[in-house]
Amino acid sequence: MRLAAVVLILIILSSGCLGVNSTLSPSQEEEVSCIRPGYGEFNAGNILFNLTDEHERLEENLAFLMPPNSTIEIKGLLFAKKYSINQKECYYEGKVKLSAFLGNSDTSNSWTHLQSRLKKVENISVEIVPKETIISENKNATFEIIIKTENVRVGETYYIYIVAFGEDGWKAWARIEVKIWAVS
């Protein structure tokens, strides 16, 4: 009886009925192999900032003081970050839209958590140039963030989130913290 059960199990396994020998066609494999980790829920982490043109010191988050009625230009770098799925190299790439939001000091790598705390930019002016770009494995994109402190209050801190929305559903974000101080 045991021998018959073992033989039956071997026949079933060797025939592939349980999916042991099943394989995907090359087109199906390509389709599912570059699904982004977290399906766009996690920060891709491919935005960096710099206050100079040289990009010698790139930062994911910046913090600085600004007086009222001043302007600063920040250089941004968006790059096609590599990730691996089933030993296949993939990239966060494609057409990207850049947007600015205000948030609070709590950062998160979860889009759902962060999105619930973001709001429209008010009282401080934030412009991103260009607002759309394309990145690929061999092509990074640069952009500028122009911050103007015209309608701000002294002592206020603004947490500006720059968010990249990839056309394939991935997202990346980084924060700029601006504290307004009085010039005496």
pLDDT confidence of residue 35: 74
For residues 82, 85, 89, 93, the Cα torsion angle rounded to the nearest 10 degrees is: -50
Do the beta carbons of residue 59 and residue 50 sit within 8 Å? yes
| pLDDT per position as a tens digit, 91-123 | 999 999 999 999 999 888 899 999 999 999 999
Region of poorest pLDDT, from 11-20, 145-154, 163-172 = 11-20
Question: Does the pLDDT of residue 78 top 90, yes or no?
Answer: yes
pLDDT band of residue 87 (cuts 50, 70, 90) is confident
What is the distance between the alpha carbons of residues 34 and 83, in angstroms, rounded to a whole number? Answer: 9
- Tell me: pLDDT of 15 over 50: no
In three-state secondary structure terms, 7 is: helix
Q: Which CATH number fits domain 39-180: 3.30.70.260, 3.40.640.10, 2.60.40.2310, 2.60.40.650?
A: 2.60.40.2310
DSSP state of 131: S
pLDDT, one tens digit per residue, over 155-170 is 999 999 999 999 989 9
139-164 mean pLDDT: 96
CA angle 43, 41, 127 (to 5 degrees): 55
How far apart are the C-alpha atoms of 36 and 166, rounded to whole Å?
Answer: 11
Domain coordinates in residue numbering, the chain = 1-33, 39-180
For 43, 93, 95, 139, 173, the CA distances from 46, given in Å and listed in that order, are 8, 10, 14, 13, 8
